[in-house]
Chain A
Amino acid sequence: MTSLETRAIVTGRPPRGRRRPRPYTPQRRRSWLLTIVLWACVAYFLLPLWWLTVASTKDTSALFSSFGLWFAPEFSFFDNLADLFTTRGGLFSRWMLNTVFYAGVSAIGATLLAAMAGYAFAKYRFPGSSALFSITLGAIMIPLTALALPTYLLFSRAGLTDTPWSIIIPSLVSPFGVYLMRVYAADAIPDSLIEAARMDGAGEFRIFWQVGLRLMGPGLVTVFLFSLVGTWNNYFLPLIMLNSSELYPITVGLAQLQAAASAGGGSQAVFSTVITGSFVSILPLVIAFLFLQRYWQSGLGTGGVKG
């Protein structure tokens, strides 16, 4: 019952009526021209994905001999899949698991840190809060790749390179996440609710945990998804931090397979394996975004308003 109510609050209503539903206007005409232009552009965005889907059903010789945007007579998707999971002793599944682990742990950690800090910035007036928040905002400008090199050197002194920590710890910092959570918390959590909880004698941490976090739902999902994508898609950091191929995430692993295939490494890696691997590895995120779209879109909305 309670969880149902919370869900209704979190998803049913945007923060404090900022956005009001628009009246439906049936006289608004559909434009054929706009529809055609829009869908022509959609075709462009789908082209590589369509190619990837088609190409993952071909063996290497069919890749070279048949037209790229249509299927070859033979359907070798399952053979490719079998190859993919047996190449180099099944290293591919290891890479997938690594990616899920790195991205999952970093995203949960980053979201929690950002939620706590954003909540504090939104709901408490404390000495130094505006200075700290400005520093956080300024840090959005710092190019993370410019930091990767010194971070690598520091980690190698601490003996942390070539461990999962070298990927997870740097990914925990999300200044933009703090910013988003602050904007979101300011809108979604009424001060009166916090006051009422204090009157009832709840401690500050309990209020955050039981009132704050629940009301920040869509904001949390947004920050979580975007940190997840950030770590999932990261290539530079794992590339410099990791040496052992058992620790690679999927991005570095595939890039290495691809380089081997282009260099004509022959038996070790073939194009069809790389392509099928790419196809398999983008499925989880695409599905996650499709299913969670309601959350991340409303969460981003808040960030954009005050941007």
Chain B
Amino acid sequence: MSTTQTRAGATRRPSTATRRQHRAAYLFVLPFFVVFVAMLVVPLVYSGYLSLFERRLIGGESFVGLANYLRAFGDPNFWGGLGRVATFLVVQVPIMLGLALFFALALDSGRARGSRSARLLIFMPYAVPAVIATLMWGYLYGPDFGPLAQIARAVGLGTPDFLSPQSILGSMMNIVTWEFVGYNMIIMYAALRAIPAELYEAAEIDGAGQFRTAWSIKIPAIRPAIILTVIFSVIGSFQLFNEPSLLNAVAPDAISNSFTPNYYAYNLAFINQELNYASAIAFLLGLVIAVVSYVVQLGEQRRERRERKGMA
């Protein structure tokens, strides 16, 4: 009798303690989720809602179903912008992440002099706002007093046109690469430092060279960090806005108002006052980003599973 009582008491006491802990946990996450719902979920739902309507001068807002989406599917401006950011993604992201990986490995190997300072200096552009980065490169590209043009003229190459419609995308890729190589490098470098040294010291004793160690031990070990940078870069590329909108001031002929989908949505909403259509474009863009990031992750998971099967 007395034993059952104590046992009951013993189980009841932790349960009230657990309940208190649950309550505390909910209170801890509550503030974040309040803002989360208000600033992420509600706008997302509202954007979806708006995209189903159309505002006419006469008759006000009316429900049009998926008409805005159908319009987007037939809109060459939307596809043009999407194609441009897709090109951007396919060309710029591998270059940027390749450079970042190279720097991270070089710094981690400790074979270069002044690694510490090099690391900080490569990271420095991340602290520069995109607005100022674009502004600086805009001046550097400038045909009149841009130093790049000055040097090219002095060497006798004539004045290169970095801001022509043909070269503007490449010039933009250079700006974004400049801004974000350091950020990605730091993520990879931090992951490299976390690899236990014995993992590749053994390989080095066995006579594996630097490149071999990097390729078969270090890079596989930091795959999760690399995937993280890939996903961030996918999101970043599709959302390009600052660079086109600011370069527009320097090169108005090269940058149309639908240069990237995001810039297009902005112009639609604030210049053309087509809010509903702009919402549809923004929503579609978000969908594309979600799908592409999901595919990247899925590919990674499948690869992991295959590898695990291969080892077993």
Please, how many angstroms separate the alpha-carbon atoms of A263 and B196 in the complex? 57
With A49-B124, A117-B29 in contact, is A240–B227 under 8 Å at CB? no
- Which among B43, B46, B136 has the greatest number of chain A C-beta atoms within 10 A? B43
User: Is A307 among interface residues, defined by CB-CB distance under 8 A?
Assistant: yes
Question: Do B197 and A142 touch (CB < 8 A)?
Answer: no
User: Is A6 among interface residues, defined by CB-CB distance under 8 A?
Assistant: no
Please, how many angstroms separate the alpha-carbon atoms of A281 and B128 in the complex? 9
In the assembled complex, the CB of A170 is this many whole angstroms from the nearest CB of chain B, namely 5
Instruction: State the total of A-B contacts with C-beta under 8 angstroms.
Output: 295
Contact partner of A304 (CB less than 8 A), chosen from B50, B115, B124, B225, is B225
User: Is A285 among interface residues, defined by CB-CB distance under 8 A?
Assistant: yes
With A146-B282, A150-B50 in contact, is A30–B111 under 8 Å at CB? yes
Closest to B43 in A: A150
Question: Do B191 and A154 touch (CB < 8 A)?
Answer: no
Question: Do A153 and B50 touch (CB < 8 A)?
Answer: yes
Contact partner of B46 (CB less than 8 A), chosen from A22, A150, A301, A307, is A150
User: Is A305 among interface residues, defined by CB-CB distance under 8 A?
Assistant: yes
Report B-chain residues with C-beta under 8 Å of the C-beta of A145: 239, 241, 262, 282
Contact partner of B129 (CB less than 8 A), chosen from A173, A282, A293, is A282
Please, how many angstroms separate the alpha-carbon atoms of A113 and B135 in the complex? 34
Contact partner of A262 (CB less than 8 A), chosen from B22, B140, B250, is B250
Question: Do A262 and B239 touch (CB < 8 A)?
Answer: no
Question: Do B40 and A173 touch (CB < 8 A)?
Answer: yes
Question: Do B238 and A129 touch (CB < 8 A)?
Answer: no
In the assembled complex, the CB of B269 is this many whole angstroms from the nearest CB of chain A, namely 6
User: Is B95 among interface residues, defined by CB-CB distance under 8 A?
Assistant: no
Interface string of B231-251 (1 = CB under 8 A from A): 100010011011001100110
User: Is B7 among interface residues, defined by CB-CB distance under 8 A?
Assistant: no
28 contacts between A and B (CB under 8 A): A29-B111, A30-B111, A38-B107, A39-B112, A49-B124, A67-B147, A113-B32, A116-B28, A116-B31, A139-B36, A143-B286, A146-B239, A146-B289, A147-B43, A150-B47, A154-B43, A169-B39, A178-B32, A229-B126, A235-B131, A251-B132, A262-B249, A263-B249, A286-B128, A298-B190, A303-B228, A304-B188, A304-B228
8 Å CB interface, B244-297 against A: 245-246, 249-250, 262, 265-266, 269-270, 275, 278-279, 282-283, 285-286, 289-290, 293-294
Interface residues of A, Cβ cutoff 8 Å to B:
18-20, 22-23, 28-31, 34-35, 37-39, 41-42, 44-49, 51-52, 55, 63-65, 67-69, 112-114, 116-117, 119-121, 124, 126-127, 129, 132, 136, 139-147, 149-151, 153-154, 169-170, 172-173, 175, 178, 198, 204-205, 208, 229, 232-233, 235-236, 240, 250-252, 254-255, 258-259, 262-263, 274-275, 278, 281-282, 285-286, 288-290, 293, 297-298, 300-301, 303-307
Report A-chain residues with C-beta under 8 Å of the C-beta of B107: 38
Question: Do B222 and A64 touch (CB < 8 A)?
Answer: no
Closest to B234 in A: A141
Closest to A49 in B: B124
Contact partner of A51 (CB less than 8 A), chosen from B42, B103, B127, B136, is B136
Contact partner of B44 (CB less than 8 A), chosen from A127, A147, A285, is A147
Question: Do A204 and B35 touch (CB < 8 A)?
Answer: no
With A31-B111, A126-B21, A147-B44 in contact, is A170–B191 under 8 Å at CB? no
